[in-house]
Structure 1
Amino acid sequence: MHKTIIIGTGPAGLTAAIYLARANMEPLVIEGWQPGGQLTTTTEIENFPGFPDGILGSELMSNMRKQAQRFGATFRTGSVKSVDFSKRPYTLDVEGIGELQAESVIISTGASAKYLGIPGEQENIGRGVSTCATCDGFFFRGKKILVVGGGDSAMEESVFLTRFASEVTVVNRRSELRASKIMQDRARDNDKISWSLDRTPLEVAAGDTGLQGLKVRNNETGEEELLEADGVFITIGHTPNTGFLGGQIDTDEQGYIIVKPGTAETNIPGVFACGDVQDRQYRQAITAAGSGCMAALDCERFLEAQTHAASVHA
């Protein structure tokens, strides 16, 4: 029986582990098969406070993990297949481990960026291909950038990237965009943004000297062409990693966990959520870490209230 099990080891889960371990709650952290979350796919992080020269994403996650271990958090590797939140203690079925029980659970399983699934894409993540303009835009100062997508986030990231890039080209499969009119207008009014619509991405082109651009098919003519660029930003959305919950936690229409405003509390008492799994707006390492702190403090108060109630009834 565990007081708390934390599912996920991004900045949210590891911050929660640090706080709970320091409070002598002895949290058990379940690491997935890709420990550290999305930050491990980022090369250098320059906007995390306290690192004036930047820090590698993998190094930051490794440091956080060591910090949690130092205070008494334990780690086990496995993938949570299903959960039973119908009664306490809560039960987790973990692939590679088996069944585990806990008085409380913190869900910090993050969200996965959607990719195009084309050749050259995965091999060049962190080498010119990115899914986060806020994280990586700075590295493309004075360069040509392609933004793939047609929704609000694609428009928002395109406008943001014009702060750094010499030129931003929006690439979209269809001739029309899904983005709201106000976001489209904002992008179209920006002189640095050009448009390559009705183009289907085929391959991320790269050579010995680095990224070359994006091969696309002109859907109108059927011809293939190379859109030359120094960076390709994939902005076709994120998928929160909530499938294993089996609908037992309230989520919005996109699958993000709904938390009570100003807290990390879900609709199940003793089950908390933090990080990108409940944040569809900011998706930053620092906001994830902050929400991990909130989840740990909320969890600690919940467990203390349970202990107090038990002693009163004893």
Structure 2
Amino acid sequence: MHQIIIIGSGPAGFTAAIYAARAGLEPVLIASSVEPGGELMNTTEVENFPGFPEGIQGPELMEKMQAQAERFGTKVVYDDVTAVELAGDVKRISTGDGSVHEAKSVIFATGSAYRKLGLADEERLSGHGVSWCATCDGFFFREKTIAVIGGGDSAMEEATFLTRFASKVYVVHRREELKASKIMQQRAFDNEKIEFIWNSEVAAIQGETEVTGLTLRSTVDGTEQELPIEGLFIAIGNDPRVHLVHGQLELTEDGTIAVEGRSSKTGIPGVFAAGDVIDPSYRQAITAAASGTVAALDAEHYLAALES
């Protein structure tokens, strides 16, 4: 029987683990078997995380967080959670290897998943020109023409990063103005390799075995145009990973796990949530880390009350 199990290995999960481990709770953190580390594993330069004035690479930041958590006694399990039983005093977490882990408390820090366009050829051409990760795949597009879909900070970061490799980067956005922060917008506007295509959406992805182009549809008048490209990077947002708790925890209108006020407390005693899975608005590494702190402290107080 564990004191606490943390599901998720992003900034929220590892920060919760650091605090829980320093409190002597010997947390078990279950990280994905395929994508441990959360979204920062797909991020290049992180310039806004306090303590790194020169910036730090996303994967390096996550490695440091994990090392810190393990230093204080966190056990990291590389497997996928397949089911959870949250009702009652004992929480049961099933993993892909057939194990069932029992704990007095659970923190969900499952983050969010890349949002997809929903086109027929999107999955078929995944890995053959369609990508959701510039850091992972940018190297393969040297001197090629590519398109980035989206208008937020992630899209601007992807587009700017990809100019290190590509000869031309189109940014396709549904509207005539961006949602990205001013500094990210300006970096993209100032980059001579980036060209914006406004008021347009992807109607189809062209290519038999590899991406060869896009059919773009105007969001103003519905007219279509062809855009020859060799790579497509999709950066249109994320959806909270809440599939494990459907029917067990209350969700908000945004699809995130509902918590009480500024706390991490869900509707079930002993079950807490932190990071992007409860935050539809800010979704920053530092806010996720702070949220993980709240969850660990809430869990610590809950466990202490059980013993009193």
Task: Quote the residue 2:92 is aligned against.
Answer: 91
Tell me if 1:28 matches 2:47. Answer: no
Cα 1:299/1:149, change in 2 over 3 Å: farther
Q: Which residue of 1 aligns with 2:180?
A: 157
Change in Cα spacing, 1:67 to 1:107, as seen in structure 2 (3 Å) is same
Separation (CA, whole Å) in 1 of partners of 2:289 and 2:51 = 14
The answer on whether the counterparts of 2:202 and 2:216 sit within 8 Å (CA) in structure 1 is: yes
- How do 1:11-22 and structure 2 match up within 5 A? 11-22=11-22
CA distance in 1, matches of 2:102, 2:202: 50
Name the SS for the 2:304 alignment partner: helix
**Residues 158 and 193 of structure 1 are in contact (CA less than 8 Å); yes or no, is this contact kept in structure 2?**
no
TM-score normalized with structure 2 length: 0.77
Q: Distance in 2 between matches of 1:3 and 1:132?
A: 43
The 8 Å contact of residues 148 and 232 in structure 1, kept in 2 or not, is answered as: no
For the residues of structure 2 that align with 1:40 and 1:271, how far apart are their CA atoms? 27
- Following TM superposition, by how much is the alpha carbon of 1:227 offset from its aligned partner in structure 2, in angstroms? 7.4
Counterpart mapping for 1:270-281 below 5 A? 270-281=270-281
Q: Is the 8 A contact 2:133 2:233 kept in 1?
A: no
Whether the aligned pair in 2 keeps the contact of 1:146 and 1:233 (CA below 8 Å) is no
Aligned match of 1:120: 129
Name the CA shift for 1:246/1:278 in 2 (closer, same or farther; >3 Å): same
Contact 2:171/2:196 (8 A) holds in 1: no
Q: Name the aligned partner's letter for residue 70 of structure 1.
A: R
Counterpart check, 1:197 vs 2:200: yes
- Asked whether the 8 Å contact 1:26–1:74 carries over to 2, the reply is yes
| 1:22-68 Cα shifts (integer Å, max 9, x gaps) | 01000001011211011101122111111112111111111111101
User: Contact 1:80 / 1:93 at 8 angstroms: preserved in 2?
Assistant: yes
User: By how many angstroms is 1:275 displaced?
Assistant: 0.6
Preserved CA contact (<8 Å) 2:256 2:277: yes
8 Å Cα contact 1:9/1:31 also seen in 2 = yes
Rounded Cα–Cα distance in structure 2 between residues aligned with 1:298 and 1:305: 11
Contact residue 172 and residue 200 of structure 2 kept, 8 A: no
> In structure 2, what is the equivalent of residue 259 of structure 1?
259
- Is the partner of 1:166 in helix, strand or coil? helix
The corresponding residue for 2:42 is 41
Percent identity among equivalent residues? 37
- How far off its partner does 1:159 sit? 6.8
**Compared with structure 1, are the counterparts of its residues 132 and 49 closer, same or farther at alpha carbon in structure 2 (3 Å cutoff)?**
farther
Once residues 7 and 130 of structure 1 are traced to their aligned partners in structure 2, the CA distance between those partners, rounded to angstroms, is 30
Between the aligned partners of 1:123 and 1:263, the Cα distance in structure 2 is 32
Which of these residues, 223, 226, 248, is aligned with residue 224 of structure 1? 226
- Preserved CA contact (<8 Å) 1:7 1:108: yes
Structure 1 residue matching 2:186: 3-state secondary structure: coil
Task: Describe the SS at the equivalent of 1:306.
Answer: helix
Distance 1:12 1:130, change over 3 A: farther
Q: What SS does the corresponding residue of 1:63 show, helix, strand or coil?
A: helix
Aligned-partner residue type, residue 86 of structure 1: A
Does the residue aligned with 2:264 lie in a helix, a strand or coil? coil
1:85-126 alpha-carbon deviations (Å, 9 max, x no partner): 121111111112511110000000000121333552327623
CA distance, structure 1, for counterparts of residue 65 and residue 268 of structure 2:
28
Gaps of 5+ in 1: 169-191, 205-212, 309-314
1:285/1:72 Cα in 2 relative to 1: closer, same or farther (>3 Å)?
same
> Does the alignment pair 1:134 with 2:143?
no
